[in-house]
Amino acid sequence: MPLPELDLMSPLPGELVEIAHAKVNLALHVRERRDDGYHALESLFVFVRDGDVLAGRVTDDGQVSLALDGPFGRALGAGADNLVVKAACALRDHLGGKHGAALRLTKNLPVASGIGGGSADAGAALRLLNRLWGAGLSPTELERVGLTLGSDVPACVSSVTQMVRGRGEVLEQREIEGLAGRPMLLVNPGVAVSTARVFQGWDRTDRGPLVADSLDEVIDEGRNDLESAAIAVAPVVAEVLAMLGRQSGARLARMSGSGATCFALFDDEDHRKAAAEVVRTTRPHWWVMETEIGGA
């Protein structure tokens, strides 16, 4: 049986809690393949109010353990390959100590879905353990540790709106008028998409830089260069985008990351709620989350 979901207001004795906020790429431009094999990216990351929930307490055995629950907990293993465990071990090694922790993750976000679930979990683990172990590392130091775990992890450490370049190591916090608090609908058709396979299908065409000084620029000139490759892998992505784009009040419908999760931005909660109801009624097996963008 899965563990009961964590009440954020009532952590267990000795526990600290962090939300692993879902990451959404409002735009994702793929520019070129670098000499080190990574793709040079330009992306505007935003983080929504909701996400996975990570709790942890100190243990004196020097070991890191992880328990999983939540709607998607069974889709993951809790062993050494889990990014939460990897983050804990990386931070412990960085500190040169023998710190231990018992961690539990409530997995609310679908796996391999383009909204940074694993990376967000790793970022939350670094934040939580930095507090739990009294390490006192700066956000920049945590980002350096995070980069060893994955390209999206450094941005997930701070989980604020930011331009991300390179392979994820160049971060620039942004305040864009009209973003904070904006209603967003996330939809995943229940298909896990391989990031590596999507990048392999990218057409290698550089369509130009990302300009993201205003919301209108992101909507009118931004794009996700991986959409076509993701649709080739999972054609249902095109169906999700079309459905979202038809909803009344949708300012933007686009895929996040390498898919298969797509999103729509709305000016108000009523239009978002109505759109969510349409998706839930017509595609009851799809995952739907009503949320809003966090602050810068």
Q: Which residues are catalytic?
A: 23, 152
Q: Name every residue whose Cβ is closer than 8 Å to that of residue 132 and which is 6 or more positions away in sequence.
A: 16, 56, 57, 58, 101
CB contact set of 250 (below 8 Å; sequence gap of 6+): 244, 264, 265, 266, 271, 275
25 neighbors 224 (Cβ within 8 angstroms): yes
Q: For residue 250, is the peptide bond before it cis, meaning its omega torsion is within 30 degrees of 0?
A: no
In angstroms, rounded to a whole number, what is the distance separating the alpha carbons of residues 252 and 27?
Answer: 11
Q: SS3 letters for 10-75? A: CCCCCCEEEEEEEEEEEEEEEEEECCCCCEEEEEEEEEEEEEEEEEEEEECCCCEEEEEECCCHHH
Q: Which of 41, 68, 32, 78 is nearest to 155 (CA)?
A: 41
Q: Give the whole-angstrom CA distance, residue 287 versus residue 52.
A: 15
- Reading the block at residue 29, the tokens are 């431009």
Q: For residue 240, what is the enclosing H or E element?
A: helix 236-245
With the C-alpha atoms ordered 115, 117, 119, 123, is the resulting torsion angle positive or negative? positive
d(CA 105, CA 100): 16
Alpha carbon distance 150, 126 (integer Å) = 13
